[in-house]
Chains A and B, each alone.
Chain A
Amino acid sequence: MTGARQKLADERTRNRALLRHVVLPTVFVTVALLGGVRVGAGGGALVFVPPPLVTLVMAVMLLSLFARGGALRVGRWLSAENGTAENVSHALTLAALFLASAQAFNSALPEAGLPRFVLSSFFLWTLWQNQFSNFDPRRLLRSLAALFGTAFFVKHVLLASLSQPGEGWLGRLAASALEGVTLGTLGGPAYAAATGYVSFFALALYVCGLALLPPAPRAETRTDDADDTDDADEADSRAAELVHALRLLPERERLRVLEASRETEKEGRD
């Protein structure tokens, strides 16, 4: 019985290691590759667009948001308690995450013109605003998926239809709604429809990578007891965050929370 349990624990540790050291870097580097790929409208020539400066700034803000929201505990990923190889591998994963984030923005943002300016400002404002609000990692992931989804729709559905005005109901609708607005103001270089598919795949892979990314890696060589200790550490850390958030609340709201907490405790005793 103990042998079977030990085997299960070994499998679990190995799978976690494979995810962290092989799967996650592969996913993020793939996103970094595909995020800048465009397919030319004419002959289908591939175009590789390196990350522009604005997307690098956005990636820095996003990673800082991950750190603030508790989705990424950098201190645990890069720690003196980890082995050398573990730290090197983690550093590479984080670097890949940074580049993947920059390229995900690059993939979702329009290429040029007014839409690029508007959506870049929108992204920057959202990321800046979120730096000062309390975040739950899952909520952060959902909000990011929505943000990227909106940008993707604008670039690859709306603007792509505008660049081919006679084709499709959306194109005709948009063309008549925006009659008089020149494509010089709206557009950028025209790309083939395949660009949208590549971008969709890149963004989907990016969100999957984020979903798979653990906030803090567990130590490699461990027993079930050590796992329990990690869980306890995580609970402690969450409790500390809650206490901190409670202190930041205005007095009236804080009293309400404390009252609700007391009531919950009382109900639990009854």
Chain B
Amino acid sequence: MRLRLIQWLGIAWTILYAAFVVWLYAAAPQSIGEVGTRASVAAGTYEVDRARFDAGRELFLREQYAAARGEWERADPARRDARTQFYVAYSFYREGWGRVYNDDALFRRGLDAADRALSLSADAPLSVEDEGLKIHSAAELKAELERGIERTADDFNPLKVLRERK
């Protein structure tokens, strides 16, 4: 009886351990800390650190965009929260926006984050109600970022300097 138990225990353990190894190779976490984050995402127990998110938002409203992104990176290390990724994209937009010209590199990174936000909210359109923001939907933010990267004749319009940052 005990031998049979050892056999089944061995089978269950081997399958579980091998599944863990396969998952590790598929998820490819870059650090030991990330293993826990990826595991919680896979288990469906992943949650954004609310306090860090709020701290990031405060920095964002004070125009400390890089610091805000740092907080959001720590709040959502797996980049699995659509709302946080929306804010990250927005911070790139605001930091990269210029009255005369936009910073294309920052806009591109913002576009990546907006794409992430959109893909994470595939079920319903993502809309963020925040009085500190002028753009509330991820699709609108993405369009704004794309418009900022595009090269058009309108770029040479001198009246462009009168436009407002959103």
B17 within 8 A of A: yes
Known A-B contacts A46-B29, A46-B31; the reply to A85 vs B17 at CB < 8 A is: no
Contact with B along A7-18 (1 / 0, CB 8 A): 000000110011
B14 to A29, Cβ gap below 8 A? yes
Q: What is the distance, in angstroms, from A81's C-beta to the closest C-beta of chain B?
A: 15
Q: How far is the CA of A40 from the CA of B28 in the complex (A)?
A: 13
Residue of A with least CB distance to B18: A29
Q: Identify 14 residue pairs between A and B in the complex whose beta-carbon atoms are under 8 Å apart, listed by A's number.
A: A17-B6, A21-B6, A21-B10, A25-B10, A26-B14, A47-B28, A50-B25, A89-B11, A92-B11, A92-B14, A92-B18, A96-B14, A96-B18, A221-B3
Q: Which residues of B contact A221 (CB under 8 A)?
A: 3
Chain B binding surface SS class: helix
Q: What is the distance, in angstroms, from A17's C-beta to the closest C-beta of chain B?
A: 5
Q: Which residues of A contact B7 (CB under 8 A)?
A: 17, 21, 83, 85-86, 89, 220
A25-B10, A47-B30, A89-B11 provided; 5 other pairs, C-beta below 8 A? A21-B6, A29-B21, A48-B24, A85-B7, A92-B15
Q: Which residues of B contact A33 (CB under 8 A)?
A: 21, 24
B21 to A88, Cβ gap below 8 A? no
A45 within 8 A of B: yes
B11 to A88, Cβ gap below 8 A? yes
B9 within 8 A of A: yes
Q: Which residues of B contact A187 (CB under 8 A)?
A: none
Known A-B contacts A29-B18, A32-B21; the reply to A89 vs B10 at CB < 8 A is: yes
Q: Which residues of B contact A13 (CB under 8 A)?
A: 3
A:92-137 near B, CB below 8 Å? 92-93, 96
